[in-house]
Structure 1
Amino acid sequence: MKQLSVFIRKEFFHVFRDRKTLLLLFGMPLAQVLLFGFLLTNEIRNAKVLICDYAKDDASQRIIEKLKASRNFDVVQQKPSNAAIQEAFRKGSISLAIVLPQHLAYDLEHNHSAGVQIIADASDPNKASTLSSYATNTISAYQAEINMPVNGPRIDTEIRMIYNPELKGVYNYVPGVISLVLLLICVLMTSIAIVKEKESGTMEILLVSPLNPFLIIISKAVPYFVLSVVNLSCILLLSCTLLGMPMQGSLLLLYFESSLMILTCLSLGLLISNVTASQQAAMLISLMGMLLPTTLFSGFMFPLENMPMPLQLIANLVPSKWYYIIVKDVMIKGLGIRDVWKETLILAGMTTVLLLISVQTFKTRLAS
């Protein structure tokens, strides 16, 4: 029994001396609890809402105050214009719009009935349904305040879902899956490209070849780029024919943006391949290191509005977030390059930076 206790103490000492083990035992669970605690919720907070107030009376002001007081909404604009609503939805700057009609207070007082229109961006059907329900409940709370007598004033809410009136889940599912598949597959394919040469012993042939490091990097990426474009074509064909995904915008623009996303992912995979020493390490970083950020921070599974500001800033570093926005804007909303230029520039910048780092890392290895 004494010998057993000695061995147990020895194992405790080994665990406490190994910082990596301690990090896995304590750091990872705490990080996962905090991370998923913010993300794994059906509640949506701080959703961008535009209010179109035609009434400008006491009733409309009280409804607006209740919306502003709710933590679910962030009232970003108050413009009495249907054109402003359409423009805001087109740019993706709002998720919900509420139209308060003229003579709202008068209709409630004299006609005992009034209508309020709720317009939601249903390209994400789950989010649109949830936000519409929040807005309806907020308006119902105001109605309960003024509806003290029996058969008092009634506010009827008309809900309008734009871009996806049937609330098909495929409108949200397909862009997210395309983003996830391209990132994981492209990064995985290229992450083992250079490290495979190291393990097989053929790196020396590359080192003495007349090609400079940049051309070697390009030669590694070109075959995977072509295969990824073919893979994308198969995904789009299945999505549009079998799943009923619309193609409202330019197919050529979608291919251009997808090619840019593929280049970003290939550059990231090459960087991983340069800095790892084995195929197992490269595959582990590619799969595990990319799967979690892509799933959590792209906006595909969980609304980004739910996240604290530090996590929202981290989400900006995930390429699939920007590509996911582009795919939805082009395929569902039918928008053009003028509307997705910012996301395009971000992906182009990521590609340039990752490719330059990959080349620089490869040069360092050549010198060593």
Structure 2
Amino acid sequence: MSAFRGLVRKETLHLLRDRQTLAILLLLPVVSVLLFGFAVRTDVRAIPIVVVAPAPDAATRALVERIAESEQFLLRGTLHSEATLDRAFRAGTVRQAIVLPPDTERRLARGERLVVGLVTDASDPNTGRVMEGYAGALLRRWHAERSGPAPSGGVTLLTRMRFNPTLESVNLFVPGLIALILTIVAAMMTAISITREKERGTMELLLVSPLRPSAVVLGKVAPYVVLGMANMVTVLLAARVVFGVPMRGHPLLLLGASLLYVVSSLGLGILISTTAETERTAIMAALAGLLLPTLMLSGFIFPLDAMPRPLWLVSHLIPARWFLTIVRGVMIKGAGLADLWREVAILAAMSVALLGIGIRRLAIRLP
């Protein structure tokens, strides 16, 4: 029994001495609860929406006012035709559109059946269903108010789900898995590899070579760039052949964005390796600092629009958020660089900054 107590005491002291691991073990449950508690939302708010009214009238203005007062919608304006809708949907500036007939007020006054078009971005099928329900309820309330006590033919909604008409969930999750896999390969494995070299003392041996410390670090992470891009191609082929996920945009744009994301993930992995003293600490830090935010704050599982504003602001610092927007835009929506230039520019800036900071910090700490 005394031997058992001695073993327990030894392990306890070992854990208390490893302050990095102890801190992560204590903080990880708290971070997980906070992320899941605040990020898990099924409701959607501030849906970017437009009203298409060829001949605006009093009924149209009443609908616009009702939308502007709603918390669920963010009115982007009123259009006279559907000519610019396609570009707006592909760019993501609009996610829903209500298309009214040219004689809305007259039809309501006569008590005729009103046919209204409802176009919804269904690239996220779960969010698409919620948005369709919100808009349908709003239109029915508006129709009831404008019809008054006189008999009415009612309102018929001609719904159209853009980009994912069959509401296939695989079109939502497979692009998200691409970001998750690249994060594991590029960031997590880089952090573990460099930390292992530091722990074994072999990293210092490399510094004896004529190469500069920054060149040593680049040489260590270069294979993970190739591995990450190879995994990207493999996942894309599996998504297309096995799951039937469409590729409506240009593959070169997607591969270029993937390279930027791999570089940013490498930078994050290097940053983790600069603070982690052991391989175990690097694994736990990558789990808490990379995988959880990628899952919860990128829009992979839960819609960004449903998050509280503080978490929504934090999500802007997650490279996976911008990469996932590009992946879904290219694959599901057929978007091009003209539609996604903002996301590509942000991801490129993050890649340069994270890789540069990571290499500099590691090069300084290694000597």
Would you say same fold, with TM above 0.5? yes
Deviations along 1:186-240, whole A, 9 cap, x unmatched? Answer: 2111002221112112123112111112211111111111111221122111110
Residue of structure 1 in register with 2:278 after alignment: 278
Q: Which stretch shows the higher mean deviation, 226-235 or 34-43?
A: 34-43
Q: How does 1:11-90 map to 2 (within 5 A)?
A: 35-90=35-90
Q: Is the 8 A contact 1:146 1:152 kept in 2?
A: no
Residue of structure 2 in register with 1:7 after alignment: none
Deviations along 1:292-337, whole A, 9 cap, x unmatched? Answer: 2111111121111122332222101101101101111111222222
In the alignment, structure 1 residue 342 sits paired with structure 2 residue 342: yes
Structure 2 gaps, min length 5: 1-18
Whole-Å Cα distance in 2 between the matches of residues 309 and 288 of structure 1? 21
Q: Which stretch shows the higher mean deviation, 153-162 or 142-151?
A: 142-151
Structure 1 gaps, min length 5: 1-17
Whole-Å Cα distance in 2 between the matches of residues 365 and 43 of structure 1? 46
Distance change in 2, residues 1:35/1:205 (3 Å)? closer
Task: Measure how far apart 1:87 and its partner are.
Answer: 2.0
Larger RCO of the pair (alpha carbons < 8 Å, separation 6+): 2
Q: Secondary structure at the match of 2:350?
A: helix
Whole-Å Cα distance in 2 between the matches of residues 272 and 30 of structure 1? 20
In the alignment, structure 1 residue 299 sits paired with structure 2 residue 299: yes
Deviations along 1:74-132, whole A, 9 cap, x unmatched? Answer: 11222222122222112111111111221101012225211111111111111111111
Whole-Å Cα distance in 2 between the matches of residues 326 and 169 of structure 1? 18
TM-score, normalised on structure 1? 0.88
Residue of structure 2 in register with 1:223 after alignment: 223
Q: Is the 8 A contact 2:32 2:292 kept in 1?
A: no
TM-score, normalised on structure 2? 0.88
Letter in 1 for 2:44: I
Distance change in 2, residues 1:108/1:153 (3 Å)? farther
Q: Secondary structure at the match of 2:83?
A: helix
Whole-Å Cα distance in 1 between the matches of residues 142 and 32 of structure 2? 39
Residue of structure 2 in register with 1:260 after alignment: 260
Whole-Å Cα distance in 1 between the matches of residues 250 and 48 of structure 2? 28
Q: Is the 8 A contact 1:193 1:270 kept in 2?
A: no
In the alignment, structure 1 residue 214 sits paired with structure 2 residue 201: no
Distance change in 2, residues 1:38/1:198 (3 Å)? closer
Whole-Å Cα distance in 2 between the matches of residues 37 and 100 of structure 1? 39
Residue of structure 2 in register with 1:238 after alignment: 238
Q: Is the 8 A contact 2:120 2:160 kept in 1?
A: yes
Whole-Å Cα distance in 2 between the matches of residues 96 and 357 of structure 1? 40
Q: Is the 8 A contact 2:185 2:224 kept in 1?
A: no
Distance change in 2, residues 1:271/1:217 (3 Å)? same
Whole-Å Cα distance in 1 between the matches of residues 34 and 201 of structure 2? 44
Residue of structure 2 in register with 1:122 after alignment: 122
Whole-Å Cα distance in 2 between the matches of residues 307 and 183 of structure 1? 22
Q: Which stretch shows the higher mean deviation, 145-154 or 120-129?
A: 145-154
Aligned residues: 349
Residue of structure 2 in register with 1:318 after alignment: 318
Whole-Å Cα distance in 1 between the matches of residues 144 and 33 of structure 2? 39
Distance change in 2, residues 1:32/1:355 (3 Å)? closer
Q: Is the 8 A contact 1:143 1:153 kept in 2?
A: no
Whole-Å Cα distance in 2 between the matches of residues 107 and 82 of structure 1? 21
Task: Measure how far apart 1:148 and its partner are.
Answer: 5.3
Task: Measure how far apart 1:154 and its partner are.
Answer: 1.2
% identical aligned pairs: 39
Distance change in 2, residues 1:311/1:254 (3 Å)? same
